[in-house]
Amino acid sequence: MAGRTFLGAKMAVCATLPTTFDNNATTGYSSLTWVEFCADAIPALKKTFQTVEKTTTCSELDKDLKGSAKFDAATFNFDPSDSSAAAAILKSHFDGASKNAELAFKVIFSKRAGETTPEEKCTTVLVGGYADSNGGSKNDVDLKEVSLWIQREIVTVDAA
């Protein structure tokens, strides 16, 4: 199959969480009502393990082992005027009454030739950062930088 680009990819948020954190159509991520939006770029969804060093007096070579894991923050820029509904959800989960509540988040890839549904990556997040303004020159759009802290393993909904 041909490679996938991010052209046409979108993201989506939902203020409510699924009952189960899987693809189940009635209880999982697929059962939610999503608010889609576009950004300047789709963020990396990357998990990194902490390094635990094993040293012994019997070995000249120290070894690195995997410790706990954590996802890097998923950071992107977007224009709230493109989706006021998504902006309201993100902002309320940043500093509003819901600031410590997780929300559902997904990346929706564009469809490749022959696909009827796109591949999706779903998880839950906390909104760790929301810029009032990214600043810029007179020829820049005032985008808002958002940082999402991934809270669960990422679930892939395969394209069909």
Position with higher pLDDT, 40 vs 1: 40
Does 3 score more than 80 pLDDT? no
pLDDT (0 to 100) of residue 159: 86
- pTM of the full predicted structure? 0.89
Q: Calculate mean pLDDT across residues 90-112.
A: 94
Q: Calculate mean pLDDT across residues 27-33.
A: 96
Beta bridge partners of 155: 122
pLDDT digits (tens, 9 = 90+) for 143-160: 999 999 999 999 999 888
| pLDDT class of 106 with cuts at 50, 70, 90 | very high
All domains of the chain, ordered by start, with CATH? 10-157 (2.30.110)
